[in-house]
Amino acid sequence: MRIFFWLTFFASWLGLDLYFGQKTAEKQSPERMYPKRKGKIDFFCSGPEFFKQFFHDIQNAQKRVYCLFYIVKDDSVTRDFFHLLKEKARGGVEVHLLMDWHGSLKVKKQDVNDLKRSGVKVGFFGKPRLPYFFFSLQQRNHRKITVIDSTIAYLGGFNVGLEYVNKSEDPKLSPWRDYHLRFYGGSAVDLEAEFIADWNQEGRSFLQQPKKAPGHESGIEHAIYPSVNGNLEKKLINMISSAQRSIFIGTPYFIPTKPVFDQLLHALARGVHVTVLIPRHEDHALVQEAASPFLNKMLLFPNARILSFTNGFYHAKIIIFDDEICDIGTANFDARSQRINFECNCFIYSPAFIEQIRPFLEEDIENSQLPSTPELYPTTLAGKIKTKAAHLVKGFL
């Protein structure tokens, strides 16, 4: 009887913590909007190529380097990254590094102290706090933003660690497939503003917002879209409802919120062709079991296609609407990204850009297969139990 009482109390506390934590966060997080811009955008889908250019740009920084990552590991890639930041700071460049507290738990205190002694300003975002401890533990800064000298910026799916350069300890997760963007122009100032907005929270030393970026540039039309506390959910519902012909979704985790998924089913019902590309191998427990009920409902429509990526691990985050608008950024197609996490995406309004990256998309499709029956319909008792468990916690996977 006493155990039942405490279980009930604990469950009630968690529910109230999550509910009121979410409501309070929504009031404190107004939607930030950045204008449509035109500029140069480079596309990366290979970790070694990405880090080669990324380190080169930091090495050439003259004034400032702002870096924000969800995950920073404790390995040789991280050591190279930290060494470069310390080198630039000792040379007089202003360097700020912000890491998510949960995602970067493996970073050693000694390494943080070494960075600080070299002049790097270091912060950890989102340490759990009262009064909504459990909600704050769940809310993570999932962004990966770097801005160099207010002119070059990065945004996408790569974090810092060996697996992102195809050296994962788990051979099933290598090679690592991800999508990342490099901006040159006005959007760098928008991403700098977003970095500073995150940095200026939680009592860190205050950074001034940058001057407004110049307009009337040439190049690919796009807009930076930061999100938190349900903003992305609303944006996706609007974009899906506007699709007329096709939607392509590439994501490592297909666990959408109910409103987003309902809108996706409405799109299928009105004849929109929907393709979902997910990884065959999982890097977190229960994500496949959580996805299978959604995928099964979609497959009731003849215009739905599910593909399972087999050549390593697919971690990219991309949505293409009607081959006209492309969404690439940090957000997965899951409830955590759509409702809880701090995310940042880029909406690209350019069919020409989509054609430019199409060979890479087709390569990923060629490296995929239709999912097997056990993946979608668990038949064993253990598989059924895992599916039920995944359903209960799907909002936090």
Whether 384 sits among the annotated catalytic residues: the reply is no
| Rounded Cα gap, residues 382 and 339, in angstroms | 30
Q: Which amino acid, one-letter code, is at 284?
A: H
pLDDT band at 302 (very low <50, low <70, confident <90, very high): very high
Cα dihedral angle (302, 397, 102, 278), rounded to 10 degrees?
A: -30
Mean pLDDT score, 282-294: 85
Spatial distance between the Cα atoms of 348 and 263, rounded to a whole number of angstroms = 22
**Closest alpha carbon to 54 in 136, 130, 152, 125:** 152
Among 233, 143, 159, 154, residue whose Cα is nearest residue 197: 143
Tell me which DSSP letter residue 209 carries: P
In a domain, residue 7? The reply is: no
- The SS3 call for residue 337 is helix
What pLDDT, on the 0 to 100 scale, is given for residue 376? 67
Catalytic residue among 86, 317, 386, 394: 317
Rg (alpha carbons) of the chain, rounded to whole number: 21
Q: For residue 20, what are the CA distances in angstroms to 23, 24, 132?
A: 5, 6, 8
pLDDT band at 380 (very low <50, low <70, confident <90, very high): low
Q: Which of 149, 190, 334, 364 is catalytic?
A: 149
Domain-embedded: residue 184: yes
Q: Measuring CA to CA, how many Å separate 229 from each of 35, 232, 366?
A: 21, 8, 36
Average pLDDT over residues 101-119: 97
pLDDT of residue 386: 64
Task: Examine residue 370 and state whether it is found in any structural domain, yes or no.
Answer: yes
Q: How confident is the model at residue 381 (pLDDT cuts 50, 70, 90)?
A: low
The CATH number of the domain holding residue 383 is 3.30.870.10
Q: What is the pLDDT of residues 181-228, one digit of tens each?
A: 999 989 999 999 999 999 998 888 899 988 777 766 889 999 999 999
Look at residue 379 in the predicted model and tell me its pLDDT.
61
Residue 109: helix, strand or coil by DSSP?
helix
- Assess if residue 211 is contained within a domain: no
Q: Above 60 in pLDDT, residue 390?
A: no
Q: Among this protein's residues, is 102 annotated catalytic?
A: no
Specify the pairing of strand 152-156 against strand 94-100.
unpaired
Of the candidates 73, 86, 222, 315, the residue annotated as catalytic is 315
- Tens-digit pLDDT profile for residues 4-20: 656 666 767 777 767 77
List the beta strands (DSSP E) in 127-280: 145-148, 152-156, 176-184, 220-227, 246-250, 273-279
Indicate if 142 belongs to the active site: yes
State the total domains in the chain.
1
Q: Is residue 162 part of a domain?
A: yes
- Reported as a single tens digit per residue, the pLDDT across 234-281 is 999 999 999 999 999 999 999 999 999 999 999 999 999 999 999 998
Q: Which domain holds residue 89?
A: 30-205+216-396
152 part of a folded domain: yes
Return the closest-CA partner of residue 73 out of 4, 154, 3, 176. 176
- Determine, yes or no, domain membership for 4: no
Strands (DSSP E) along 110-267, which ranges?
Answer: 121-125, 145-148, 152-156, 176-184, 220-227, 246-250
**Quick one: pLDDT band at residue 387, thresholds 50, 70, 90?**
low
Quote the tokens at residue 146: 């770097």
| Cα-Cα end-to-end distance for the chain | 31
Residue 310 lies in a domain: yes
Q: For all residues of the chain together, what is the average pLDDT?
A: 90
The whole-number pLDDT of residue 336 equals 93
3-state helix, strand, coil in the chain (%, to 5): 40, 25, 35
The two structure tokens encoding residue 357: 């990256």
- Which position among 102, 142, 222, 394 bears the catalytic label? 142
Tell me the pTM: 0.94
Which residue has better confidence, 284 or 36? 36
234 is catalytic: no
Q: Is 258 a catalytic residue?
A: no
Catalytic residue at 322? yes
Q: 118-169: per-residue pLDDT in tens?
A: 999 999 998 888 888 888 788 899 999 999 999 999 999 999 999 999 999 8
pLDDT at position 7 is: 66
Residues 6+ apart with CB under 8 A from 106: 72, 73, 74
pLDDT class for 391, splitting at 50, 70, 90? low
Catalytic residue among 144, 222, 386, 394: 144
